[in-house]
Amino acid sequence: MFKKILIANRGEIACRVMATARKLGIKTVAVYSDADAGAKHVAMADEAYRIGPAPVSESYLKTDAIIDVCRKSGAEAVHPGYGFLSENPDFVDALDKAGITFIGPSSRSIGAMGLKDAAKALMVEAGVPVVPGYHGDNQDPDFLKSEAEQIGYPVLIKARAGGGGKGMRRVDDPKDFLDALKGAQREGEASFGDGRVLIEKYLTKPRHIEIQVFGDNHGNAVHLFERDCSLQRRHQKVIEEAPAPGMPEEMRRAMGEAAVKAAKAIDYSGAGTIEFIADVSDGLRSDRFYFMEMNTRLQVEHPVTEMITGEDLVEWQLRVASGEPLPKSQDELSFGGWAFEARLYAEDAPKGFLPAIGTLDHLVLPEDSARVDSGVRAGDEITPYYDPMIAKVIVHGPTRDAALGKLLASLEATEVAGCVTNAAFLAALCRHEGFARGDVDTGLIDRDLNSLIREPEVPEDAVALAALTALGLTRPAEGHDPFATLAGWRIWSASRQYALLEIAGERLDVEVHARGHRRFAVHLPGGIRQYTLIKVTDGAYTYECEGHRARAAVASSKKGLTVFLNGHAFPIILPDTLSADEEAASAGDQLVAPMPGLVKVLTARAGNKVTKDQPLVILEAMKMEHTLKAPRDGVIGEVLVSEGEQVTDGTVLLALGEEESDAVA
Please compute, for residue 499, the number of CA atoms within 13 A of its CA located in the half-sphere on the CB side. 27
- The correct pick among 52, 129, 165, 459 for binding ligand ADP (CB under 6 A) is 165
Distance between CA atoms of 101 and 192, rounded to whole angstroms?
A: 25
Q: Does residue 202 bind ligand ADP (CB under 6 A)?
A: yes
Q: Does residue 235 bind ligand ADP (CB under 6 A)?
A: yes
C-beta separation of 464 from 510 below 8 A:
yes
- Helical segments of 210-367, H only: 249-265, 302-309, 313-321
- The correct pick among 6, 103, 123, 203 for binding ligand ADP (CB under 6 A) is 203
Q: Which of residues 406-435 bind ligand ADP (CB under 6 A)?
A: none
Q: Does residue 156 bind ligand ADP (CB under 6 A)?
A: yes
Distance between CA atoms of 346 and 348, rounded to whole angstroms?
A: 7
Distance between CA atoms of 406 and 366, rounded to whole angstroms?
A: 10
Residue 154: asked if its preceding bond is cis (omega within 30°), the reply is yes
Phi (first) and psi of residue 18, to 5 degrees: -65, -35
* Torsion angle in degrees (nearest 10) through CA of 125, 129, 132, 138: -20
Closer CB to ligand ADP, 91 or 134, in the complex:
134
Q: Tell me how far, at minimum, the Cβ of 204 lies from ligand ADP, in Å.
A: 7
Distance between CA atoms of 341 and 240, rounded to whole angstroms?
A: 5
Q: Tell me how far, at minimum, the Cβ of 202 lies from ligand ADP, in Å.
A: 4
Phi (first) and psi of residue 539, to 5 degrees: 85, -5
Q: Tell me how far, at minimum, the Cβ of 271 lies from ligand ADP, in Å.
A: 17
Closer CB to ligand ADP, 201 or 513, in the complex:
201
- The correct pick among 151, 277, 408, 599 for binding ligand ADP (CB under 6 A) is 277
- The correct pick among 107, 212, 232, 359 for binding ligand ADP (CB under 6 A) is 232
Rg from Cα positions in the chain: 27
- The correct pick among 117, 200, 216, 380 for binding ligand ADP (CB under 6 A) is 200
Only segment of 202-210, 458-466, 489-497, 564-572 that touches ligand ADP (CB under 6 A):
202-210
* Torsion angle in degrees (nearest 10) through CA of 102, 271, 318, 326: -120
Please count the other Cβ atoms lying within 10 Å of the Cβ belonging to residue 579. 9
DSSP label at residue 427: H
Strands 568-572 and 624-629: unpaired
Q: Does residue 162 bind ligand ADP (CB under 6 A)?
A: yes
Q: Tell me how far, at minimum, the Cβ of 376 lies from ligand ADP, in Å.
A: 24
C-beta separation of 29 from 7 below 8 A:
yes
Helix then strand then coil, in percent of the chain rounded to 5, is: 30, 35, 35
- The correct pick among 81, 104, 206, 388 for binding ligand ADP (CB under 6 A) is 206
Q: Tell me how far, at minimum, the Cβ of 299 lies from ligand ADP, in Å.
A: 10
Only segment of 165-173, 446-454, 488-496, 528-536 that touches ligand ADP (CB under 6 A):
165-173
- Spot the catalytic one: 160, 186, 288, 297: 297
Q: Report residue 209 CA to chain centroid gap.
A: 19
Phi (first) and psi of residue 361, to 5 degrees: -60, -30
Closer CB to ligand ADP, 201 or 626, in the complex:
201
Only segment of 45-53, 197-205, 531-539, 567-575 that touches ligand ADP (CB under 6 A):
197-205
C-beta separation of 619 from 628 below 8 A:
yes
Q: Does residue 163 bind ligand ADP (CB under 6 A)?
A: yes
Residues 6+ apart with CB under 8 A from 587: none
Closer CB to ligand ADP, 132 or 456, in the complex:
132
Please compute, for residue 412, the number of CA atoms within 13 A of its CA located in the half-sphere on the CB side. 15
Q: How many residues bind ligand ADP (CB under 6 A)?
A: 22
Distance between CA atoms of 645 and 599, rounded to whole angstroms?
A: 5
297 in catalytic set: yes
Only segment of 199-207, 350-358, 373-381, 607-615 that touches ligand ADP (CB under 6 A):
199-207
Q: Which of residues 130-149 bind ligand ADP (CB under 6 A)?
A: 131
Q: Which amino acid is at 66?
A: I
Q: Tell me how far, at minimum, the Cβ of 61 lies from ligand ADP, in Å.
A: 19
Q: Reduced to 3 states, what is the DSSP secondary structure of residue 43? A: helix
Distance between CA atoms of 351 and 627, rounded to whole angstroms?
A: 10
Q: Which of residues 281-340 bind ligand ADP (CB under 6 A)?
A: 292-293
Return the H-helix or E-strand segment holding 530.
Answer: strand 527-537
- The correct pick among 55, 164, 327, 588 for binding ligand ADP (CB under 6 A) is 164
Only segment of 154-162, 252-260, 518-526, 612-620 that touches ligand ADP (CB under 6 A):
154-162
- The correct pick among 27, 208, 252, 600 for binding ligand ADP (CB under 6 A) is 208
Q: Does residue 115 bind ligand ADP (CB under 6 A)?
A: no
Q: Can you name the residues that pair with 513 across neighbouring β-strands?
A: 496, 521
Closer CB to ligand ADP, 133 or 270, in the complex:
133
Closer CB to ligand ADP, 441 or 461, in the complex:
441
- The correct pick among 147, 228, 241, 275 for binding ligand ADP (CB under 6 A) is 275
Q: Which of residues 432-461 bind ligand ADP (CB under 6 A)?
A: 442
Q: Which residues bind ligand ADP (CB under 6 A)?
A: 131, 156, 158, 162-166, 168, 200-203, 206, 208, 232, 235, 275, 277, 292-293, 442
Q: Kindly list the catalytic residues.
A: 297
